[in-house]
Amino acid sequence: MSWRAVCEAVGIELVEMEDWSCCGTVHVTSVDRLLSLALAARNLAIAEAMGLEIAAPCSGCYKNLRVANEALKTDAELRAKVNACLPRPFQGSTAVKHPLYIILDDVGLEALGDPPRPLNGLRVAPYYGCVLTRPAAAEPVDHPEDPQGLDRLLRTLGAKVVPYYPAKTKCCGGAVLLSHTDVAVDLTGKLLKQAKEVGAQCLAVACPMCQMALDAYQSRVEKQLGERLDLPIFYFTQLIGLALGIDEGRLGLGRLMVSPSKALAEVWGSKVGERTGLERGDRPNGNSASFDWRPG
Amino acid sequence: MESGAGELQPAARISVAGTARDLDPQFKDEVAALYAGPSLALCCQCGTCSGSCPTVGRMEYSPRRIMHMVLLGMADEVLRSHDIWFCVSCYSCSARCPQGIEIADVMAALRSLSIAKGLARDPEATFSSTFLEVLKRHGRMYEPEVLARYFAAEVNLGAILKMAPVGLRMFRKGKIGLRPERIENAEELAEIAARITSARSRGGSGGQEP
C-alpha cells in the first residue's frame, strides 16, 4: 500500500503485471531448482512482453527473480531447458529491482531531501534482512553485510539511525516461520532485543516477510524474552510516506500489529531531546559491542 | 615387543559423524549436477560457514560437516538429516566462503534430492512440498489451504493452537483472505511443472537436474 502511495508521490508509474503468478520463493527452490527458475521466468517473460522492469517489494521474491534473471541470461543451455517448458519464452530483456534501490538509484535521495514532515529524530534501526544484499548480484546494489542505502534514506527523512551492525543483515528466520517457528522466534528475538539495546524506537524493514516475523510474532518474542518490546515495524515506504505528508490511511499503518502511535507521538506530539552519540554499547565506528552474535 | 606382534594402542579415537558403512562416490556428482557454482571439491573445511550460520546451534552436523559428508559420499546421513532443513537460506555462508562455494545453494540442492528420494523427514520439507502443491492449483498463494494441508500432514495440535491467535489477528487486519485468488492461467503452472518432470525423465538421469 505505502509503496503505491510513495510511487504516486515521486512520479513512478506502477503497472500490475498481467496474470502474474507466485514465483515459489525459497520453498520451491528447496523442492526443485529448475521448476523454481521456470516459475520465475514465467513472470520475467510477462514483464518482457510489457516492456517494463520489475519492482519486487519482497526481498525473497526479489532475490528469486533477480537470480533467475541472471542465471538464465548467462547460461544458454539452462535457458533452452527452461524455455522448452514455458508458454512464453524468456528473452533476457528485463531487469529486476527492489523498491529501496529504485528510490535510491533511480529516483535519488535529492527528490526526498527536505521532506515536508521530517521524522524529527525518530530513532530507527535499519533492518535490511538477509537476501536483499546476498547473494551479491552481478552488479551489486549495496554491501553484502554492511549496506548503507536504508541508513542514508532514513537520515534524509530526518530519522536518527541507531547503530545496527551486524544485526542489519542477520536473518529473521522468515523462511521457516511456519515449520520451525521456534527458530524464527529466536532469530527475530535477537534482532528485536538488539534494536532495543541500542535505543531504537522502531525498525524500518525492506521485506514483508521480515515485517511479518518482527511484527506479528513480536508478542511471542516478548513472552520468550520476558520483557515488553513495543517496537513498531515499518516497511520503509511507510516512513517515506509519513515524511512526505501522505495521508496515513493510505500507508496501511492500521495493519501493523504493534501499533506505531506511541513512537510517532513521541517525535511529533512532544519534544524529543537529541540523544548523545555514546549510547550504551556504542563504539565510535557505529558497531554495537554488547550483543552476542555467536552462532546458535 | 617383537616387531610385527601386537597392535598399536591408540591414544585417542577420532569419531566420525555416524558410522558410515555405505559410501556413495557418485553422491557428490549427483549434488553437483543440481548446483551451479564453483566445485564442491574446493572446500578446505575451514569452518567459516558453520561460524556464520544462524541456526548451527540446532544442527546435528553443521554446514562444514555436511560439505565434508557430501564429498565423502555419506548420502544417506546427509539426505535424512534435519540440518539441511534448518537452513534459512540467509546466504551468510555463501557470502563468506573463502573458496567461493555457494553453500546455501548446495543446501538447496540437498533439500531437493532429499525430497526426490523420499528421505526427507522434517516439517519444513512438508511445508515446502505443500506450498508447491497449492501454488500449482491456484497460481498464487492461498494461505488457508497451505495451512490446512500442512497441519493435516504434521498433526501438531500445540503448533496449531499457538498459530491460531496470530492467524486470527492477520485475518482481522486483512492480511490474509478466506477466498483464494486464482490467476487466469493457473493451469500454466501445473503445465510448466509437468513439462519439467517429463523433460527430466526423457533426459534419463532419474534425479533432479538443474
Closest CA relative to residue B81, chosen from B53, B55, B54, B114: B114
**pLDDT above 60 for A58:** yes
**pLDDT at residue B205 tops 50:** no
Q: Please list every residue in chain A whose beta carbon sits closer than 8 Å to the beta carbon of residue B184.
A: 19
ipTM of predicted complex: 0.86
Kindly indicate the confidence band of residue A166, based on its pLDDT and cuts at 50, 70 and 90: very high
Domains of chain B (ranges plus CATH)? 27-116 (1.10.1060.10), 123-191 (no CATH)
Give the pLDDT of residue B97. 97
Instruction: Spell out which residues of chain A touch residue B188, defining contact as CB-CB under 8 Å.
Output: 21, 42, 87
pLDDT band at B5 (very low <50, low <70, confident <90, very high): low
Mean per-residue pLDDT, B48-76:
96
Partners of B192 on chain A (C-beta within 8 Å) are 35, 38-39, 42, 85-87
Does the beta-carbon distance from A19 to B184 stay under 8 Å?
yes
Count Cβ–Cβ pairs < 8 Å, chain A vs chain B.
176
Top residue of A77, A165, A178 to mutate, by most chain B CBs within 10 Å, is: A178
pLDDT higher than 50, residue A285: no
> Could you tell me what percent of chain A has a pLDDT over 90?
81
pLDDT at B13: 53
Test B112 with A75 for CB contact under 8 angstroms: no
- Of B58, B127, B147, Cβ closest to residue A183: B58
Task: Give Cα A12 to chain centroid, integer Å.
Answer: 19
Per-residue pLDDT, B14: 53
- Determine the Cα–Cα distance for residues A197 and A211; give it in Å rounded to an integer: 19
Is pLDDT at B210 greater than 60 in this prediction? no
- Kindly determine whether residue A84 and residue B183, on different chains, have CB atoms separated by under 8 Å: no
Query: In chain B, what percentage of residues exceed pLDDT 70?
Result: 85
Residue A277 has pLDDT above 50, yes or no: no
A214: pLDDT strictly greater than 90: yes
Q: Tell me how far apart the alpha carbons of residues A207 and A213 are, in angstroms, rounded to a whole number.
A: 10
**pLDDT of amino acid B178:** 72
Chain B contact set for A21 (CB, 8 A): 135, 139-140, 183, 185-186, 188-189
Cα separation, B25 vs B71, whole angstroms: 8
- Predicted pLDDT of residue B142: 82
Look at residue B3 in the predicted model and tell me its pLDDT. Answer: 54
Tell me: pLDDT of A271 over 70.
no
pLDDT at A37: 95
Give how far B193 is from chain A: nearest CA, Å.
6
Q: Considering CB atoms only, which of B132, B175, B185 is closest to A31?
A: B132
Task: Report the percentage of chain B scoring pLDDT > 90.
Answer: 51
The DSSP secondary structure of chain B, one letter per residue, reads --TTSS----S--PPPSS------TTHHHHHHHT--SS-GGG-----HHHHH-TTGGG-SS-HHHHHHHHHHT-HHHHHH-SHHHH-----HHHHH-TT---HHHHHHHHHHHHHHTT---SHHHHHHHHHHHHHHHHSS--HHHHHHHHHHHH--HHHHHHHHHHHHHHHHTTSS-SSPP--TTTHHHHHHHHHHHHHHHHHT--S---
How many alpha carbons fall within 13 Å on the CB side of residue A44? Answer: 32
User: Which among A119, A163, A175 is positioned nearest to A286, based on CA atoms?
Assistant: A163
Q: Which residues of A touch B126 (CB under 8 A)?
A: 179
Higher-pLDDT residue of A10 and B201 is: A10
Higher pLDDT, A126 or B164: A126
| Residue to test with chain A: of B107, B117, B132, B143, most A Cβ within 10 A | B132
Question: Which residue from B36, B111, B195 is facing A30, i.e. has the nearest CB?
Answer: B111
- How far is the CA of A67 from the CAs of A62, A124, A144, A229, B48, in angstroms? 8, 30, 15, 36, 24
Contacts of B191 in chain A (CB under 8 A): 87
- What number does CATH give the domain A2-97? 1.20.1050.140
- pLDDT exceeds 80 at position B176: no
User: B36, A71: Cβ pair inside 8 Å?
Assistant: yes
What is the average per-residue pLDDT within A117-143? Answer: 95
- State chain A's mean pLDDT as an integer: 89
Looking at residue A280, its pLDDT comes to: 33
pLDDT band at B69 (very low <50, low <70, confident <90, very high): very high
pTM of the model: 0.85
Contact B131 A27 (CB under 8 A): yes
Give the confidence band of B6 by pLDDT, cuts at 50, 70, 90. Answer: low
Q: How much is the average pLDDT of B48-61? A: 96
Q: How far is B142 from chain A (nearest CA, A)?
A: 10
| pLDDT score of A290 | 39
One-character DSSP codes across A21-86: ----HHHHHHH-HHHHHHHHHHHHHHHHHHT--EE--SHHHHHHHHHHHHHHHH-HHHHHHHHTT-
3-class DSSP assignment, residue A227: coil
Q: What is the largest CA-CA distance in chain B?
A: 84
- Residue A221 clears pLDDT 60, i.e. is over it: yes
Whether B125 and A27 lie within 8 Å, measured CB to CB = no
Residue from the list A29, A81, A174 with its beta carbon closest to the beta carbon of B108: A29
In this structure, the number of other CB atoms found within 10 A of the CB of residue B204 comes to 7
* Local confidence band at A38 (pLDDT 50, 70, 90 cut-offs): very high
Angle at B92 between CA B33 and CA B116, to 5 degrees: 30
Cell numbers representing residue A292 in the block: 552476542
- For residue B186, give every residue at least 6 positions away whose Cβ sits within 8 Å of its Cβ, in sequence order, or none: A21, B137, B138, B139
Mutation to test the A interface, candidates B135, B154, B184, B185, most A Cβ within 10 Å: B135
pLDDT value of position A176: 92
**What is the arithmetic mean of pLDDT over B88-103?**
97
Q: What is the pLDDT of residue A18?
A: 86
Provide mean pLDDT across the span B107-132. Answer: 94
Distance to chain B for A244, nearest Cα, Å = 25
Inter-chain CB proximity B86 and A180 less than 8 Å:
yes
How far off is chain A from B22, nearest CA to CA, in Å? 25
Residue B116's region, left for phi above 0, alpha for psi from -120 to 50, else beta, is alpha
Q: Which residues of A touch B147 (CB under 8 A)?
A: 178
- Give the domain ranges of chain A: 2-97, 106-269
Q: Is the pLDDT of residue A190 over 90?
A: yes
**Residue-wise pLDDT tens digits, A5-20:** 999 999 999 999 988 8
pLDDT of A273 > 80? The answer is no
In the structure, what pLDDT confidence band is assigned to residue B18 with cuts at 50, 70 and 90? low
Tell me whether residue B172 is exposed, middle or buried, using C-beta atoms within 10 angstroms of its C-beta: 0 to 12, 13 to 18, 19 or more.
exposed
Contact criterion met (CB < 8 Å) for A38 and B188 = no
* Alpha-carbon separation of residue A152 from A108, A149, B197 (angstroms): 11, 5, 46
Contact assessment for residue A116 and residue A245, using Cβ atoms and an 8 Å cutoff: yes
Q: What band does A206 get if pLDDT is binned at 50, 70 and 90? A: very high
Q: Is B137 exposed, middle or buried (0-12, 13-18, 19+ CB in 10 A)?
A: middle
DSSP tag of A266: I
Please list every residue in chain A whose beta carbon sits closer than 8 Å to the beta carbon of residue B169.
Answer: 216, 257
User: What's the topology of domain A106-269?
Assistant: Rossmann fold (3.40.50)
Decide if A164 contacts A194 (C-beta within 8 A): yes
Q: How far is CA A55 from CA A39, A97, A233, in A?
A: 17, 5, 22
Question: A255 Cβ partners below 8 Å, 6+ apart?
Answer: A1, B173, B174, B175
Question: pLDDT-based confidence at B16, cuts 50/70/90?
Answer: low
